[in-house]
A = this chain, B = another copy of it.
Amino acid sequence: MAFNITPIGIIHSSIKHRSDAPRQGYRGAPAVTIELAKDMEPALTGLSSGDDVIILTWLHQSDREVLQVHPRGDRRKPIRGVFATRSPDRPNPIGLHPVKILSIAGCMLEVEPVEAIDGTPVVDIKRALRR
């Protein structure tokens, strides 16, 4: 059994290669532009600059067969299961990116910070929860 996940947009970033990406957004990742599909524009109603949202991406260059890794790629660290890490290599390579919206114009959103590389598909945007 499997489900189809359909990109709603794409990330435009100055980060072109996975080896240049910081491990998390808050580790110095840049602002990026999200170009949403035109038919998604109604789903943005109510969002504006300054809002905190979570961007979900499909980390398309990931290795989905990997179940264990050395944390942060450090081979001196004991091996861990990918579910105990934020490794992009995992069975379903969904990226979670807590960001702030810098601007919205039509289907173009500028948000920061995002460590995903240029061309990464975006699959969802969710309001960040404040408890």
Contact = CB atoms under 8 A, between A and B. Distances in A.
A39 to B, nearest CB: 8
13 contacts: A1-B6, A3-B58, A3-B121, A5-B5, A6-B92, A42-B67, A43-B67, A46-B78, A83-B127, A86-B127, A90-B124, A91-B124, A94-B123
A24 interface: yes
A15 interface: no
Given A2-B5, A2-B6, A43 B90 contact: yes
Stoichiometry, as copies per complex, reads: 2
Interface string A89-131: 0111010100000000000000000000000010111110101
Contacts of A82: 43
The interface size bin for chain A is 35 or more
Contacts of A40: 67, 83, 91
Contacts of A21: none
A24 to B, nearest CB: 7
